[in-house]
Structure 1
Amino acid sequence: MFKNVIVRVPSRSISEGITSVDYGTPVYEKAIVQHENYVSALTKCGVNVTVLGPQEEFPDSCFVEDVALCTSKCAIITRPGAESRRKEAILPDMLEALEGFYENIERIEAPGTVEAGDIMMVGDHFYIGESARTNREGANQMIAILEKYGLTGSIVEMKEMLHLKTGLAYLENNNLLVAGEFKTAPEFEKFNRIEIEMNEAYGANCIWVNDTVIVPEGYPIVQKKIEDLGYKVLVVDTSEYRKIDGGLSCLSLRF
């Protein structure tokens, strides 16, 4: 169960965020409303939400998931693969927030790169995607740190998705949403895999928070498949964040 969540309010510079898609430019006013609704949904799941202020210098800084991995034993400050995001991982307010919750804080060091959007937690095991943003050195450092605290990790090779969790969402109880290249990945054969077609692949980026699953708006097939598993579902519009490669999981640290 999660007790705490950290989020960051998007900045006006969000329109300059990194993107690999052509869905238009994020509208700041809409992004703010969507973020407020996101925080509201999290609150309904019974967690305490820490809201950090916007950082105009960093257009992607609302995607706090990438800059730290929060485990049951420690927090690990990452070293983002996107160079423009490196300093996000050492912003004083984020470090202060993490220090308020964790005695043990570790760091990924150069030449390793890790973005925690590439890391999926299943119990005490962490699947780490080797992607354009997370390299083998960073993944190995992450596994070594996890093992120091009695946790485990393994590397998943990727070829297509931006981040591991772009096409995966673990919903607890062995249920795993899978899209794209992960449908046939041998690492996930033991799970009850709920396959999501590419036309709804963005909808696969859901988050489980204390037996409720928050689902992006506009993906009715994904929503129905999750409801059919017996979960309570909350729907949140993240369309402005999709324009800069962001989804539901990217917008928060959950622990």
Structure 2
Amino acid sequence: MFTNVIVRVPSKSVVDGISSSNEGKPNYGLALKQHEEYVSALTKAGVNVTVLEPNDDFPDSCFVEDVALCTKKCVIITRPGAASRQKEAALQDMQEALKKFYEHIEYIEAPGTVEAGDIMMVGDHFYIGESARTNRAGAEQMIAILEKYGLSGSIVPLKEVLHLKTGLAYLENNNLLVAGEFITSPVFEKLNKIEISPDEAYGANCIWVNDHVLVPAGYPNAQKAIEGLGYKVLVVDTSEFRKIDGGLSCLSLRF
């Protein structure tokens, strides 16, 4: 179960966020509205939400998931692979928010890079995607830290997606949404894989929060599959964040 969530309000500079989507720039006003609805959905799922102020110096800083991995034993401050994001984790308000909840704080150090969008928690095990943003050195550091606290990790090389959780979502109860390259991956054979079709691949980025699942708007087949598993679904529009390579999981730290 999750008790707390940290989010950051999008700044006006969000329109200049890193993007490979070719869908144009986000509408700032609409992004703000969608973010408010996201926070509202999280609240409905029964968590306390800490809302950090926008920071114009970092266009991608609303994607707080990438800058820290929150576990039940410690928080690990990452070192994002995107150079423009490497100082986000050091922002004072983020540091203060994390220190409020965690006694044990660890850090990924150069030459390692890690973005926590590449990390999926399944119980006490953490799958770590080796990607353009998370390198082998960073993944190995992450595993060493996890093991220090009695947790475990393993590396999953990525071929096509930006982040591991771009195409995966663990919904607890052994259920795993899979899209793209992960459909045929032998790594997750022990889990109950729910396949998301290529035309709805973005819909695979959902988040489980206390028996609720937040699902992006506009992916009816993915939504139906999740509802069929018995979850309470909360639909949230993330169209403006999709334009800058972001999804539901990217927008929060959940612990």
Q: Secondary structure at the match of 1:200?
A: helix
1:179 matched to which residue of 2?
A: 179
**CA offsets 1:105-143 (integer angstroms, 9 cap, x no match):** 000000000000000000100000000000000000000
2:133 matched to which residue of 1?
A: 133
Q: Describe how 1:1-255 pairs up with structure 2 within 5 A.
A: 1-255=1-255
After TM superposition, give the deviation of residue 185 of structure 1 in Å: 1.1
**CA offsets 1:190-238 (integer angstroms, 9 cap, x no match):** 1100001111000000000000000000000000000000101000000
Q: Secondary structure at the match of 1:184?
A: coil
Q: Distance in 1 between matches of 2:239 and 2:13?
A: 17
Letter of the 1:35 counterpart: H
Letter of the 2:60 counterpart: D
Q: Which ranges in structure 2 are unaligned for 5 or more consecutive residues?
A: none
**CA offsets 1:70-108 (integer angstroms, 9 cap, x no match):** 000000000000000000011110010000000000000
Q: Distance in 2 between matches of 1:245 and 1:148?
A: 33
Letter of the 1:53 counterpart: E
Q: Distance in 2 between matches of 1:24 and 1:141?
A: 36
Between the aligned residues of both structures, percent identity stands at 79
**CA offsets 1:52-74 (integer angstroms, 9 cap, x no match):** 00000000000000000000000
TM-score (norm 2): 1.00
Q: Distance in 2 between matches of 1:51 and 1:123?
A: 27
TM-score (norm 1): 1.00
Q: Distance in 1 between matches of 2:194 and 2:225?
A: 8
Q: Distance in 1 between matches of 2:196 and 2:45?
A: 25
Segments ≥4 residues shifted beyond 6 Å: none
Q: How many residues align structurally?
A: 255
Q: Secondary structure at the match of 2:87?
A: helix
Q: Distance in 2 between matches of 1:197 and 1:230?
A: 20
Letter of the 1:80 counterpart: P
After TM superposition, give the deviation of residue 48 of structure 1 in Å: 0.2
Q: Distance in 2 between matches of 1:89 and 1:186?
A: 34
Q: Which ranges in structure 1 are unaligned for 5 or more consecutive residues?
A: none
